[in-house]
Amino acid sequence: MAVRKQHRGLRIIAAFKLFKALALLVVAVGAFQLVRESRFTAFTDWIMQLPIHYGHRMLAGFVDRLFDVGPQGFLGVGLALCVYAAVFIVEGWGLWQRKRWAEYLTVVVTMSLIPLEVWEIWHRFTWLKIFALGVNIAIVVYLIVVLRRDR
């Protein structure tokens, strides 16, 4: 079996995927910490001490929704973040190892999330979401070009 051509962009995407996985795992650990009622109460008390409700409407709305989840809801949040991180780890490792299946997997997973990102932008517009959508579209286009070129 011939060794596939090295694409620097694949290594950058792999590192990006692995970084996102690490970030999600850190947040998941935090979510799991909030499953205990005492920690959730301490966290909500601490958040309420911050001056976020004055002039930061979007952040205040996010915090209010966070409180609605409740301590047991953070178990589901943590598990979902772990699953999502696992997908990123598989994509990142596969891309780093120059596995063709990882290129296809990354295209499929990233493309499947684009409609959700567009929906989210439509309902809650931020420039950060536009940037994230642009990055994901660029990754899909790049991978499709690499896959077609390496056929």
Give tens-digit pLDDT for 27-49.
Answer: 999 999 989 988 888 888 887 77
DSSP 36: S
Q: Which amino acid is at 63?
A: V
Q: Which helix (H) or strand (E) holds 72?
A: helix 57-96
* Eight-state DSSP code of residue 50: S
pLDDT at 3 over 60: no
What whole-number distance in Å separates Cα of residue 128 and Cα of residue 131? 5
Q: Summarize the confidence of residues 82-105 as an average pLDDT.
A: 95
How far apart (Å, rounded) are the C-alpha atoms in residues 116 and 124? 12
Residue 61 has a pLDDT of 76
